[in-house]
Structure 1
Amino acid sequence: MTLSPDLLEEPAAPADGPEPSATRGGEQKRSVEQVALLLFITVPFVALVAAVPVAWGWGVSWLDLALMVFMYFVACHGITIGFHRYFTHGSFKAKRPLKIALAVAGSMAVEGPLVRWVADHRKHHRFSDAEGDPHSPWRYGETVPALLKGLWWAHIGWLFDEEQTDQHKYAPDLIKDPVIRRISRDFVLWTVLSLAVPPLVGGLVTMSWWGAFTAFFWGSLVRVALLHHVTWSINSICHAVGRRPFRSRDRSGNVWWLAVLSCGESWHNLHHADPTSARHGVLRGQVDSSARLIRWFELLGWASDVRWPSASRIDSRRREDAANAA
């Protein structure tokens, strides 16, 4: 995978090649996609809202919690390491088995087909917090009412926009790869697998339908809803608030309390200051589990040419008032 150093320029569209629909998700969302999207947002969210009274009334088993945590971090790292740092920004090179595993793990986050996700995110970096950004919270202005409206748009509203990013323009490298194109096209399969694993394990371990049901509630529905809102918070919250110790051409900020749940993605200011960096949490005390896993992949020989940020590179991106902002 060969990408531009900062991925801020528009990639050229190829003269021919597979149609965008071959990756599941073309340039417009059909009605059936809109309905499916609404269901995948509302049903897990209802489960998330119900989680507290359910836990109070029924309790939650250690198996349910273990399945929820395990599935959450597998899918979360699939997004942060796979969809984001590898496929979108080329922060490292991966051997083919790791590449496929990251594509599948990210797809199990139920955040949309791989190629569409990458195209949207590359377009976001091209126009970050400016006209053309698919999900900037500053879309409607800087007044309090405008920002509240913008936060809703950046968090969820943009997902229902019928006009989609041109995948041939923003993700031609992924469309050319038949295996990645197939994984993207089979998004529904990975969604079913993601939702089915917890109840299958829960049912087999407890040998009961009730064990399967509670595992589905916590390990599938609550887990998906939580991961969705954490991911969407990077688009909304991390572009509205947070400290900005590094120079970037947008309003990306660091939000410390999202760091663990976002697997290091909420150190968002450094990411926009240096998009291809494999580590986002570069300052002391900034937890970045995604960078740690990439380091392990490198030690195992599964990843190479990792773009680790050097001290001089970090210093060159500091703002003049970084001492006060850090």
Structure 2
Amino acid sequence: MTAGVADVGRRAPLPDIAPKPVPMIERISVVVFVVAPIVGVAAAVPFFWGWGIGWTDVAIFAFLYPFNALGITVGYHRYFTHQGFKAKRWLKIALAVLGGQAWQGSVIFWVSDHRRHHKYSDRDGDPHSPWAFGPGVWGLTKGLFHAHMGWLFRKTRTSRTKYAPDLLKDPDLRFLGRNDVYVLIAASTLLVPMGLGALLTWSWHGAVTALFWAGILRVFAGDHVTFSINSICHVFGKKPFKTRDESRNVWWLAIPSFGESWHNLHHADPTCARHGVLKGQVDISARTIWLFEKLGWVWDVRWPDADRLAARRNQPDPEPAAA
């Protein structure tokens, strides 16, 4: 544990939440989107022994996972939340749809929560700090569950007008955030792999196995990698950069999170489009943004600035990696 974290453990009413409760349909959707993948994985165990898993399912999983992962990391996070670059309209819409397929909510709600997280990081007001229940084994156990997924079941929501007024002004994002439209986006997460499985195997068996392994399991894996950034990366790991919170780097999450687990630098310099800025820190999302920039799809990318990073260092280290 880190000295001083007891100060962030005091519970208090969370500020800046909307005055009205979350509509029942949204609360039910959270239960479905969070619990369904877990139930699906549990059901997949006997399913595995009875029917098996084929290379087609693995291939569809491997093909689709990066799209929705990048929808969250490049789209929801580095673009919509922190405005680390500017993008063409078609790419903006594509990133919003791909992020929505990850079953983490519509882009406006996601951005509102994340911006509030940065404003109050690991203090009263942070929607998902693992230190919300104080230090100690029991407090941290409850805190890790709360940060990982428990916070999603809250009965109130972050104010969109306060934290995402720019997104609310965008007609494309307002349309994609409508309940009926978002339901279709979320449903496509399962229908696409199911359709691919049917086409590639020309059988109902292939469609159903793809639904389980490349659909439900893919959502389960992607969501819990994202949730781990909220929980694990605020408790364990290293802090090479100065921050006012407990954000940390967790190297073994770097590949599955596409670079999001270089979380300490992100909190030290939130608008930076690259999180893995030190030598050897793989950041797939940053490399994707770099490719988009080369193709002319994005511009005004906020790449790491050596002087700014040096001012935030806890101790001297090798030069930051090039953009």
Residue 35 (structure 2) aligns with = 42
How high is the TM-score relative to the length of structure 1?
0.88
Q: Give runs of aligned pairs for residues 269-288 of structure 1, distance below 5 A.
A: 269-288=264-283
Q: Give runs of aligned pairs for residues 1-326 of structure 1, distance below 5 A.
A: 28-49=21-42, 51=44, 54-55=47-48, 57-185=50-178, 186-320=181-315
TM-aligned CA deviation for residue 161 of structure 1: 0.6
Residues 26 and 265 of structure 1, relative CA distance in 2, 3 Å threshold: farther
Q: Is the partner of 2:177 in helix, strand or coil?
A: helix
Letter in 1 for 2:61: M
TM-aligned CA deviation for residue 28 of structure 1: 2.8
Consecutive unaligned residues of structure 1, counting only runs of 5 or more, are 1-12, 14-24
**8 Å contact kept, 1:27–1:167:** no
Stretch of structure 1 that moved more, 31-40 or 179-188 = 31-40
Cα distance in 2 for partners of 1:195, 1:57 equals 21
Cα distance in 2 for partners of 1:167, 1:26 equals 11
**8 Å contact kept, 1:245–1:321:** no
Letter in 2 for 1:233: S
TM-aligned CA deviation for residue 59 of structure 1: 3.0
Q: Is the partner of 2:121 in helix, strand or coil?
A: coil
Cα distance in 1 for partners of 2:134, 2:61 equals 38
TM-aligned CA deviation for residue 53 of structure 1: 5.7
TM-aligned CA deviation for residue 31 of structure 1: 2.7
TM-aligned CA deviation for residue 281 of structure 1: 0.6
Letter in 1 for 2:137: V
Consecutive unaligned residues of structure 2, counting only runs of 5 or more, are 1-15, 319-323
How high is the TM-score relative to the length of structure 2?
0.89
Cα distance in 2 for partners of 1:95, 1:183 equals 17
Q: CA RMSD in A?
A: 2.0
Aligned residues: 301
Cα distance in 2 for partners of 1:237, 1:278 equals 22
TM-aligned CA deviation for residue 29 of structure 1: 2.0
Cα distance in 1 for partners of 2:20, 2:229 equals 24
Q: Is the partner of 2:186 in helix, strand or coil?
A: helix
Q: Percent identity?
A: 55
